[in-house]
Chains A and B, each alone.
Chain A
Amino acid sequence: MNTMVPAAVNVAALKDTTLLNMGIFALFVAVTMVIVFRASRNNKTAADYYAAGRSFTGSQNGTAIAGDYLSAASFLGITGAIAINGYDGFLYSIGFLVAWLVALLLVAELLRNTGKFTMADVLSFRLRQRPVRIAAALSTLAVCFFYLLAQMAGAGSLISLLLGISDWGGQALVIIVVGALMIMYVLIGGMKGTTWVQIIKAILLIAGAGVMTAMVLAIYGFNLSSLLGSAAEAANNPAILNPGLQYGKTETSKLDFMSLGLALVLGTAALPHVLMRFYTVPTAKEARKSVVWAIWLIGLFYLFTLVLGYGAAALVGAETIKSAPGGVNSAAPLLAFHLGGPLLLGFISAVAFATILAVVAGLTITAAASFAHDIYANVISKGKADATTEVKVARRTVVVIGVLAILGGIFANGQNVAFLVALAFAVAASANLPTIVYSLFWKKFTTQGAVWSMYGGLAAAILLITFSPVVSGAKTSMIPGANFALFPLSNPGIVSIPLAFFLGWLGTVLDKRREDPAKQAEMEVRSLTGVGAEKAVDH
């Protein structure tokens, strides 16, 4: 089979490019650090630190959203998934893209109009503050944690490929360096610095992927059909072009695929770090523009990954990818090396690395804001803390989360990142989406409904993951030796999402307390008209 694979990619030769890769990456870090320092000079208030003074335009924020969303999972994970599993990898892209319509139509503008810094601001608007805020903050932290794990795992596999470090200690060291850099960005730059890092990274990533796509297509005379043919030939398996290679094996795996599809499409609009981005623009109209920009950029990028994935299958070959250090996640860097030698590999790797850094920074500031604003300021000190103390707490939280992410990343090292991200989507869709939708659109929704739905959805998603083949009972599990996989599916969405919607309804109809109708009226009027929405900060 190996004779079919072009021999141009010599994995051992990659080591020689280490210095170049590191040089390009160091340049990126240096440039972004300067920008972060400059951006941070105006960080005075909580609105500055959490929401960048609400001063970004829709197109800037849309690019930053694309930067946040096109994580290492999208780039490395999806390209790898298409290269190995063909069409089934493409399905990730479609779910990730279509999901944006939920955010555009149902969530973005209404959320911008009613909230201040966090998701919990919106959810607790017309319900009882304390219980709803705590629940929303806990689910925010849980989703951020899963997402962080995925990114840090991606950092590990990327580095093992680039530096040829295959020993555990060396990779752990690299994860620590990534984590420490990210903590610096967020501590110094706050949301403004983080947003600029996202914007730069998004442009580099989309441009880099675009160049690679053009190069791949050029090899096949800009004929998609012959690229696909060549991929099928290299894989020695025409089924790579059809659905079902990964998920079509058994009835269970088909159901697992439905579950994944549900989690992907409903998860995006419930991701706390995406929701928080809508507060960085001055108005709801700019929030809408942000989503529109994000949809175009993200859609374009996923079209690129389709070409890149099949390109990697055709030009690099599944066997080479699988046996490279970093496994499936190394498809995109190996393809870059094949197309443009060490220089393109260095550029793409630095971009992928920057991607991880930027996404981790975005997640960290979201988690820190949620802890400081929701739990510390509104629950522990009952709204009496001043903004300076709140931001101080947020900065300390950044350090704690950074350390947790580093530790988690060291242990999650080696998992497929697209897959780990899908779990974060499932948790977000289960714990957050029902309450977001109900509180924006259902007049009678009550505190009990919100609390039942959020805790129920969160607990169901996490328990089902714990007892799934992801954690134990299979060769690819996190704990391969043990077997307590009582739940057959890898993705919990198909059970936990409907359950959370049901619990939200049940908790509400069984609730004897009624919520304040004046608050409901205020939220509805504000969400649709933007009356009294948080304004941009003048400097």
Chain B
Amino acid sequence: MGNEAQNQDATASVDFREVQQTERFKTLRKRHRSFVFPMAVVFLLWYFAYVLLADYAVGFMSIKVWGNINVGLILGLLQFVTTFGITAWYVSYSNRKLDPIAAEIRNEIEGHEFDKDGNVISGGVK
């Protein structure tokens, strides 16, 4: 059954500002942002470069490279490749660099208040 009320109670006693100031949390935030922000900028630039080429460099995009396959089609398919690649990269980065540290912080905060099933057993409740 739902345990929404319990979740709120369980975290009500946590001083999140204190957690936010811990070195470990700062490391987590830095690792997260230093991956997702540059990556977002890179794929958006690459995507818009492609859109601009398709829009304003039709001649270049129409150059046939192999049979009827032209530059435009190759660049379009490369968009697929980079999307799949960034996805795989992010997953591996999260598994290695983000998940362990996030789990540590989470267990530390919730450890006192939750048993394995996620139910409130003691403490923390006002």
Contact = CB atoms under 8 A, between A and B. Distances in A.
Given A87-B72, A106-B36, A225-B68, A46 B2 contact: yes
B73 interface: yes
B80 A534 contact: no
A35 interface: no
Which secondary structure dominates where chain A touches chain B?
A: helix
Interface in A17-70: 44-48
Contacts of B125: none
A178 interface: no
A200 to B, nearest CB: 25
Interface string B1-43: 1111001101100101101100001001100110110011001
B62 to A, nearest CB: 4
B69 A528 contact: no
Contacts of B10: 532
A250 to B, nearest CB: 12
Chain B interface residue number, banded:
35 or more
A195 to B, nearest CB: 18
B84 A296 contact: yes
Contacts of A248: 55, 58
A295 B87 contact: yes
Given A105-B90, A528-B32, A531-B14, A243 B4 contact: no
A41 to B, nearest CB: 15
A532 B51 contact: no
Interface residues of A, number: 67
A265 B11 contact: no
Contacts of B17: 517-518, 521
Contacts of B99: 285
A537 B117 CA distance: 11
Nearest to B3: A535
Nearest to B65: A225
Given A254-B55, A257-B51, A292-B91, A299 B83 contact: yes
A265 B29 contact: no
B83 A97 contact: yes
Interface string B32-66: 11011001100110011011101110100110001
Interface in A445-491: none
B67 to A, nearest CB: 3
Nearest to B28: A528
Contacts of A387: 2
B106 A295 contact: no
Contacts of B68: 225-226, 228-229, 232, 241
The 4 residue pairs across chains A and B that have the minimum distance between CB atoms: A225-B67, A532-B11, A228-B68, A242-B62
